Every structure is written in C-alpha cells, then in structure tokens.
Amino acid sequence: MLFGILREEDHRVSVTPELAKKFISEGHEVYFEKGAGSSAYFEDSLYNEIGAVEKSREEIISSSNVLITLAPLSKEEVAKLAENTFLFSSFQPFQDASICETFATKGISAFSFDMIPRSSIAQSMDILSSMASISGYKAVLKATDYLPRYMPMLSTAAGTVPPSKVLIMGAGVAGLQAIATAKRLGAQVEAFDTRAASKEEVQSLGAKFVEVEGASDDTNAGGYAVEQSEEYKKKQAELIALKIEKADVVITTAQLRGRPAPKLITEEAVKTMKPGSVIVDLASSTGGNCVLTEDEKVVKKHGVTIIGSSNLAAEISEQASVLFSKNVQNYLKLMLTKEGLNFNFNDEIILQSCIVYKGEVIYGNEAKQKALVPAPKAEEKADAQA
C-alpha cells in the first residue's frame, strides 16, 4: 500500500520517520511532502534515508491508498482523492456529523482517532490522552510566562517569597498533568472535578481536592465531564468563586463531548482575582470555561491575563509528533498487514472508530454499524451454545 505524509498547518507531523520506516520494512511505499516534519525537527533527509520518496502535495493526495493526518483534509482536497482511499484523522463527528457526508464518495473509508473507545485496552492508541497530557504540562509553563510572581516559595536575603496558588479545574489527563507540573514548580495546588474517581488521583499527586457534593458522575463518559443539575451548578459556582479569588493561576480543562464547554468562571469571578493573575483555558475551542476567553488569543481583562488555547500540544511539536505517531502505530497494529488493511469489525476499537466505510456513512447509523460485524461461524455458534 502507498502511505502519504502531508505537511500540515499544525507544527506536528502525523507520521515520524520511525513509523514510516516500519511501513517500508513491511513492504509498503511512503510518499512525503517537502517539509512535512520540519516544524517537528524531522528533516526531509530523515525520510529520504529510510526510503520514503518526496512528492508534491497534489500527487500524494491523488495517489495514496492511506492518508494519516492530524486535521481533516479540506473538501477541495477530498475531491482529489483516489478511489477507495483510507483516511485516518481526528474528524470529531460528534461536533458536526455532516463531515461524514464529505467522505461518502468514491468508496472512501474514514476512521476517526477521537472515536477510539477510551478504555484500558485502547490506552496505547489514545491520541486524545497523549495530546491532553502535553497540553496540561504546557499550560502551567505558559502561565509562568505571564505570571508576574514566582511559583515556588523562596527564602531570599530580601525575605521569604510565598508560593503561588494554582487552581486546576477538571482533573482528567490534562488536569492531572497540570497538577503534577505545578507541584514540581513548587506551587500550592488545588483541583476541582465533578467525577468522584478524580479525588484519589488528585490527592496522590499532592494536591488538595475541592469537592462539591451532589455531582452527577458518568463512568461511561470517556473522560469527559457530564452536564450537572442547576442546583449543583449554583453550589459549584459559589465554591469556585471563593477559590478563584485566592488563586494566582487558574487552569481550566472541562469539556462536554459534542457540546459547548461548561462555563465555570464568570466575569464577576475574574474581577475578584489579584491583578497579574493568569487563566489558561484549554477548552477555548468549544467556547471556553471562562466567559471572557477568546479562542487562540491572549487577552487581558480586569487585570487578569486570559490565555485561550486548546492546542498547546502543537507547541511541543517534536514530542507530540512522537507520541501521536506511536498511538497511530499501535492503532494500525489492529488492521495493517503486509498485504494491506484488514478490518475485523468484531473488534470494538475498529468498529467504533469507523465513521465511513467504502462510501457508506457508518457514524450515527446503528443498522449499518451492525452490518459491518460478520456473522459468527457455525463452529462459533456451537461453542457458544455449549
């Protein structure tokens, strides 16, 4: 099969030379666009050395059997794809299911990384977790760039400097990494999350857990927050307002799958913060957890710096590319052979991540999804009955 590697607006690259080498060693071909990995410090020479061939973007798109990208191709580029092309990317059909219709043509198949079940068996291929971990780490470093105060407590000849107080809102993968990073820098850290399971994890990292009683918890939400009752939201807002007032840095990570991010920080709460304080909003792409957040912008409101960024992982481009590529490699182990791609739809990971198959929209269509699962063989039925 012919694998294509494209240069993207993102600073990361989807397939590192290491993974490209593995494709080639298994008898496949690899084309790459000039400069595809240069922003992640994987120069073209590294791809050339392992046998990949440099081609124009147009040729890669029109001739590749498999395209693995960080962001979906544009509609114009999809129209140039060859028949029966396989696309792998983060399509986010839960945000806009109409994207599936874009690929329902020419026998195209599309598999979405963000639809991989967030289960223990799929951890090694969980791109969302890998990138969230990097974002949580970078969020703390980003905050220190703008914070006009020290993070750690320091004893100096001029007196003792108190540690900064950091509040993490949302203790998923990004939040936990932010906690660990802030603690390493010597800050006093508190963390809030509606999920009961987060309490032990937060405390294990040395942070204090901010608990609001009466939260709705859904262990099947795939690491996302769930919508809360109005009564809970009121109690939550009151307690969070008290914590925000004392915080030097607030990092928010709470997102609702397929819905706008919950508003956790009001303008009134921002006004109570100390001048020079910093908010880093990792949910900015879905509306932000702070009402004053502007996506992909740094703004100053009421003396507080508010950083809106949901893609901080791209700023650590080399490491992010390595982890992304490793996740892709582990995912493709389920289906890639020397002969090509072989999909076993009895595997929930493959089935759930398939949104379009051979030109048929699968996402949101239970009947078509079930039709992909092969019927059990006679001997399997006999074993089951026994």
Q: Is residue 120 part of a domain?
A: no
Instruction: Indicate whether 243 and 178 sit together in one domain.
Output: yes
Q: Which of 47, 146, 224, 357 is catalytic?
A: 224
Q: Is residue 269 part of a domain?
A: yes
Q: Is residue 243 part of a domain?
A: yes
| pTM for this entry | 0.90
Q: Is residue 379 part of a domain?
A: no
Q: Is residue 124 part of a domain?
A: no
pLDDT value for 236: 79
How many C-beta atoms surround the C-beta of residue 344 within 10 A? 12
Determine the straight-line distance between the first and last CA of the chain, rounded to whole angstroms: 42
Instruction: Indicate whether 170 and 303 sit together in one domain.
Output: yes
Average pLDDT along the chain, 386 residues, taken 10 residues at a time: 96 98 97 98 98 98 98 95 96 94 92 94 96 98 97 94 96 96 98 87 95 63 58 82 96 92 94 97 96 97 97 96 98 95 96 96 94 73 50
Instruction: Indicate whether 33 and 111 sit together in one domain.
Output: yes
Instruction: Indicate whether 209 and 354 sit together in one domain.
Output: no
Instruction: Indicate whether 218 and 107 sit together in one domain.
Output: no
Tell me phi and psi for residue 307, to 5 degrees.
-105, 115
Q: Which of 31, 39, 89, 126 is catalytic?
A: 126
Residue for token digits 């769930």?
226
Domain around 244: 134-315
Instruction: Indicate whether 302 and 349 sit together in one domain.
Output: no
Instruction: Indicate whether 140 and 266 sit together in one domain.
Output: yes
Q: Containing H/E element for 251?
A: strand 249-252
Strand, coil or helix: 35: coil
Instruction: Indicate whether 165 and 294 sit together in one domain.
Output: yes
Domain boundary among 288, 315, 342: 315
Q: Which of 14, 112, 129, 236 is catalytic?
A: 129
- How many domains are there within the chain? 2
The type of residue at 170 is G
Instruction: Indicate whether 106 and 144 sit together in one domain.
Output: no
325 catalytically annotated: no
Instruction: Indicate whether 140 and 276 sit together in one domain.
Output: yes
Encoded tokens for 306: 């508010």
Instruction: Indicate whether 303 and 164 sit together in one domain.
Output: yes
203 catalytically annotated: no
Residues 6+ apart with CB under 8 A from 295: 284, 285, 288, 308, 309, 310
Q: Which of 109, 118, 133, 198 is catalytic?
A: 118
pLDDT value for 265: 94
Instruction: Indicate whether 201 and 338 sit together in one domain.
Output: no
Q: Is residue 299 part of a domain?
A: yes
Q: Which of 123, 203, 204, 229 is catalytic?
A: 123
* Residue 6, domain CATH: 3.40.50.720
C-alpha distance from residue 58 to each of 54, 55, 66, 344 (Å): 12, 8, 14, 32
129 catalytically annotated: yes
pLDDT value for 258: 86
Q: Is residue 383 part of a domain?
A: no
E-state strands within 8-129: 29-33, 53-55, 66-68, 86-89, 109-112
Q: Is residue 129 part of a domain?
A: no
